[in-house]
């Protein structure tokens, strides 16, 4: 199976395909348009099934929601509603934005041909280690939490009903989040590769101009050609970034929002249960959710920090020094530098906010603020409801 991009990538894309997240045929599948139709139908089917599930949970007489008091009920309903919103956005986006996704993968395969060719499995694992660690680490964390939970907490019917219906939605949002991380990781690899190549060029030019090294006739033209090629590659990477933004537009917002809401609601509920001495410790299950957002932000941040590095390496290329000066090369460097200024890579969700580490700070602040606001409600609520 000499798949393009290797077996690891192929396996995980197939996984996302099964979940209805990746609405494209993989390299090697025959009958692309048939695949595309089938993927679309599968996505819609999953969407309808999950929406039906949420509706049943919200409106049935069974004890899907927390029963003891009104407040817990509202909390659970809120979690369902936002999870449904996320699922809706995910599948609608998968169905509608196949174009951008196709563009992304097309550019990826184009550009990655200049990177390492598909080698051994171990090499692939090393290449995708960040993604693999994130994916399996988070899944493992979730599983461990559940096992511990079942061990400690006596299972009642409500608990079972709630978690068997809510957990699939949670897992779907997590996996979608990890799909974002995969795409950002691919983007990061391209950028890192570009930075590396520019660093080599810079070293080379320094060596050639250092006096000990000798430049040869046509050296300037050579460097200029290389830079031009890098400019084209950067443009390709930037188009990849744009396709990423186009392919994952609403769902970034809704997935992050639903995770955020879950954290806020559960943090608050934790305080509430402690305050009212309710014997319920399922709030521990938010720990994986707390890890999701930093994982996303870390991936996007590590992707974005490369652009200034690329600019730095670009200006390390020596266009002139004492004995030799290359006006044309300097022109090319200027051009690339201006191009970098025009094409910044800043991952955001619909322009609402840039998803870097400061976003994490803002989320922490907002969760804290809302906690304080809502904790003040507590004595007022507890009187009539408990």
Partner 1 sequence: MPSSEPEVQPLLQQFQQLFFISKIAGILPQDLEKFRSRNVLEKSRSGMVYMMVTLVVYVMFYNLLIYSFGEEDRSLKATQSTLTFVIGLFLTYIGLIMMGTDQLTALRNQGKLGELYERIRLADERLFKEKCVLDNSCIGRRIRIMLIMTVLFELSILVATYIKLVDYTQWMSVLWVMSAVPTFINTLDKIWFAVSLYALKERFEAINATLEELVMTHEKFKIWLRGESDNTTSLDSSQPPQYDSNLEYLYKELGGLDLGSMGKGSVAGSGKNKVAPVAHSMNSFGESIETASDKFPRNQMSSNLVYESELANVSKVEEKLNNLCQVHDEICEIGKAMNELWSYPILSLMAYGFLIFTAQLYFLYCATQTQPIPSLFRSAKNPLITVIVLSYTSGKCVYLIYLSWKTSLASKRTGITLHKCGVVADDNLLYEIVNHLSLKLLNHSVDFSACGFFTLDMETLYGVSGGITSYLIILIQFNLAAQQAKEAIQTFSSLNDTAGLVGSVTEMDNGSSTLHDLVSTTMLTPTTG
Q: Which residues bind partner 1 (CB under 8 A)?
A: 4, 24-25, 27-30, 32-33, 36, 98-100, 102-103, 105-107, 109-111, 113-114, 204, 216-218, 221-222, 225-226, 228-229, 231-233, 235-236, 238-239, 328, 331-332, 334-335, 338-339, 341-343, 350-353, 366, 369-370, 373-374, 376-377, 379-380
How far apart CA 203 and CA 328 sit, in angstroms, is 19
Residue pair 359/298 in contact (Cβ under 8 Å)? The answer is no
Beta strands in the chain (DSSP E): 320-321, 324-325
Q: How far is the CB of 215 from partner 1 (least distance, A)?
A: 10
Nearest distance in Å: CB 177, partner 1 = 20
Q: How far is the CB of 149 from partner 1 (least distance, A)?
A: 31
CA dist., res. 273 & res. 279, Å (int): 7
Smallest distance, partner 1 to C-beta of residue 176, A: 21
Based on CB atoms, which residue is closest to partner 1, 53 or 191?
191
CB of 269 to partner 1, least distance (A): 16
Nearest to 355 by CA among 290, 264, 293: 293
Alpha-carbon span 19 to 248, nearest angstrom: 16
Q: Are 244 and 187 in contact (CB under 8 A)?
A: yes
Q: Label residue 232 exposed, middle or buried (CB < 10 Å: 0-12, 13-18, 19+).
A: exposed
Q: Shortest approach of partner 1 to residue 326 CB, angstroms?
A: 11
With respect to partner 1, which residue has the nearer C-beta, 316 or 348? 348
Q: Which two tokens mark 29?
A: 């599948």
Question: Of 197 and 266, which CB lies nearer to partner 1 in the complex structure?
Answer: 197
| 154/379 with CB nearer partner 1 | 379
Minimum separation from the CB atom of position 375 to partner 1 (A): 11
Select 151 or 216, whichever has its Cβ closest to partner 1: 216
* Contact call for residues 22 and 178 (beta carbons, < 8 A): no
Taking the least distance from each CB to partner 1, the nearer of 147 and 350 is 350
C-beta closer to partner 1: residue 275 or 377: 377
Which of 100, 302, 304, 114 is CA-nearest to residue 194?
114
Please spell the DSSP secondary structure of 39-108, one letter per residue: HHHHHHHHHHHHHHHHHHHHHSSSS-S--S-HHHHHHHHHHHHHHHHHHHHHHHHHHH-HHHHHHHHHHH
Determine how many CB atoms are found less than 10 A away from the CB of residue 152: 10
167 vs 328 by CB, closer to partner 1: 328
Distance, CA of 143 to CA of 146 (rounded, Å): 5
Closer residue to partner 1 in complex, CB, 52/327: 327
The minimum distance between CB 345 and partner 1, in angstroms, equals: 12
Burial string for 159-175 (b: 16+ CB within 10 Å, else e) reads bebbbebbeebbebbbb
Q: How far is the CB of 334 from partner 1 (least distance, A)?
A: 5
């Amino acid at each position: 199976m000499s798949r393009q991009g290797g077996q690891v990538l192929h396996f995980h894309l197939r996984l996302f395909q099964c979940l209805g997240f990746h609405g494209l045929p993989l390299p090697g599948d025959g009958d692309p348009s048939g695949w595309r139709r089938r993927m679309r139908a599968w996505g819609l089917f999953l969407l309808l099934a999950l929406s039906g599930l949420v509706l049943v949970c919200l409106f049935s007489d069974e004890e899907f929601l927390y029963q003891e008091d009104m407040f817990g009920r509202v909390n659970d309903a809120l979690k369902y509603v936002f999870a449904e919103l996320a699922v809706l956005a995910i599948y609608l986006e998968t169905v509608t934005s196949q174009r951008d996704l196709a563009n992304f993968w097309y550019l990826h395969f184009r550009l990655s041909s200049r990177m390492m060719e598909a080698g051994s499995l171990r090499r692939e694992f090393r290449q995708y280690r960040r993604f693999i660690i994130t994916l399996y680490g988070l899944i493992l964390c979730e599983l461990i939490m559940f096992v511990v939970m079942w061990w400690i907490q006596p299972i009642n019917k409500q608990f079972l009903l709630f978690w068997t219906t809510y957990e699939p939605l949670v897992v779907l949002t997590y996996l979608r989040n990890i799909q974002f991380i995969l795409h950002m990781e691919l983007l990061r690899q391209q950028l890192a590769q570009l930075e590396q190549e520019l660093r080599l060029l810079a070293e080379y030019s320094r060596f050639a101009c250092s006096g000990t090294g000798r430049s040869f006739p046509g050296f300037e033209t050579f460097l200029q050609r290389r830079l031009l090629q890098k400019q084209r590659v950067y443009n390709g990477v930037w188009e990849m970034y744009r396709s990423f933004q186009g392919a994952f537009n609403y769902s970034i917002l809704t997935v992050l929002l639903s995770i955020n809401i879950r954290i806020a609601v559960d943090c608050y509920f934790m305080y509430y249960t402690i305050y009212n001495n309710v014997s319920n410790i399922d709030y521990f299950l938010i720990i994986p959710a707390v890890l999701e957002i930093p994982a996303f932000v870390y991936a996007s941040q590590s992707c974005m920090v490369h652009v200034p590095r690329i600019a730095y390496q670009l200006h390390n290329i020596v266009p002139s020094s004492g004995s030799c000066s290359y006006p044309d090369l300097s022109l090319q460097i200027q051009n690339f530098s201006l191009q970098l200024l025009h094409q910044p890579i800043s991952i955001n969700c619909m322009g609402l906010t840039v998803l870097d580490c400061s976003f994490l700070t803002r989320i922490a602040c907002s969760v804290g603020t809302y906690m304080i606001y809502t904790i003040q409600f507590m004595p007022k609520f507890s009187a009539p409801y408990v």
